[in-house]
Chain A
Amino acid sequence: MKVKCPTIFLFLSPQVHIEHMKHLEAIGKYFIMVWEVFKKPTKWPIMRSLILKEIDELIYGSMGIIIFISFFIGGVVTIQTALNLNSPLLPKSLIGFATRQSVILEFAPTFTSIIMAGKVGSYITSSIGTMRVTEQIDALEVMGVNSLNYLVFPKIIATLMYPFAVAISMFVGILGGWIAAVFGGYAPSGEFIKGLQLDFDSFHVTYAFIKSVVFAFVIATVPSYHGFYMRGGALEVGKASTTSFVWTSVVIIITNYILTQLLLG
Chain B
Amino acid sequence: MIEVEDVHKSFGSNHVLKGISTVFEKGKTNLIIGQSGSGKTVFLKCLLGLFEPDEGQICYNGQYYSELSTNERRDLRQEMGMVFQGSALFDSMTVEGNVMFPLDMFTKQSKSEMQDRVDFVLKRVNLIDAHKRYPSEISGGMQKRVAIARAIVMNPKYLFCDEPNSGLDPKTAILIDNLIQEITQEYDITTIINTHDMNSVMEIGEKIIFLKNGYKEWEGTNKEIFKTDNEAVTDFVYSSELFKKVRQMYIEERN
Which residues on A sit within 8 Å (CB–CB) of B89?
136
Assess whether A138 is in contact with B74, with CB atoms less than 8 Å apart: no
CA distance A143 to B83 in the complex (A): 11
Q: Identify which of residues 121-146 in chain A touch chain B, using a CB-to-CB cut-off of 8 Å.
A: 130-131, 134-136, 138-139, 141-145
Assess whether A142 is in contact with B80, with CB atoms less than 8 Å apart: yes
**Stretch binding the partner chain, chosen from B14-22, B98-106, B213-221, B224-232:** B98-106
A12 at the interface (CB under 8 A from B): no
Q: Which of B77, B86, B88: most chain A CB closer than 10 A?
A: B88
Q: Identify which of residues 148-202 in chain A touch chain B, using a CB-to-CB cut-off of 8 Å.
A: none
B38 at the interface (CB under 8 A from A): no
Assess whether B77 is in contact with A143, with CB atoms less than 8 Å apart: yes
A42 at the interface (CB under 8 A from B): yes
Assess whether A142 is in contact with B50, with CB atoms less than 8 Å apart: yes
Assess whether A134 is in contact with B105, with CB atoms less than 8 Å apart: no
CA distance A144 to B91 in the complex (A): 19
Q: Which of A135, A138, A141, A143: most chain B CB closer than 10 A?
A: A143
CA distance A136 to B49 in the complex (A): 17
A43 at the interface (CB under 8 A from B): yes
With A46-B104, A135-B84 already in contact, the answer to whether A141 and B78 are too (CB < 8 A) is no
CA distance A144 to B105 in the complex (A): 10
With A42-B105, A43-B105 already in contact, the answer to whether A141 and B50 are too (CB < 8 A) is yes
With A136-B91, A138-B50 already in contact, the answer to whether A143 and B105 are too (CB < 8 A) is yes
Interchain CB contact (< 8 A) of B78 among A136, A138, A139, A143: A143
Which residues on A sit within 8 Å (CB–CB) of B48?
142
B90 at the interface (CB under 8 A from A): yes
Which residues on B sit within 8 Å (CB–CB) of A138?
50, 84, 88
Question: Which partner residue on chain A sits nearest B85 by CB separation?
Answer: A135
CA distance A200 to B161 in the complex (A): 65
Which residues on B sit within 8 Å (CB–CB) of A46?
104-105
Assess whether A144 is in contact with B74, with CB atoms less than 8 Å apart: yes
CA distance A46 to B90 in the complex (A): 15
CA distance A145 to B101 in the complex (A): 11
Assess whether A142 is in contact with B106, with CB atoms less than 8 Å apart: no
CA distance A102 to B82 in the complex (A): 55
Assess whether A136 is in contact with B90, with CB atoms less than 8 Å apart: yes
Q: Identify which of residues 153-210 in chain B touch chain A, using a CB-to-CB cut-off of 8 Å.
A: 160
Which residues on A sit within 8 Å (CB–CB) of B160?
142
User: What are the 6 A-B residue pairs with the smallest beta carbon separation, nearest first?
Assistant: A144-B77, A135-B88, A139-B88, A142-B82, A135-B84, A144-B74
- CB<8 Å pairs between A and B, sample of 9: A46-B104, A135-B88, A136-B90, A138-B50, A139-B82, A142-B77, A143-B77, A143-B78, A143-B82
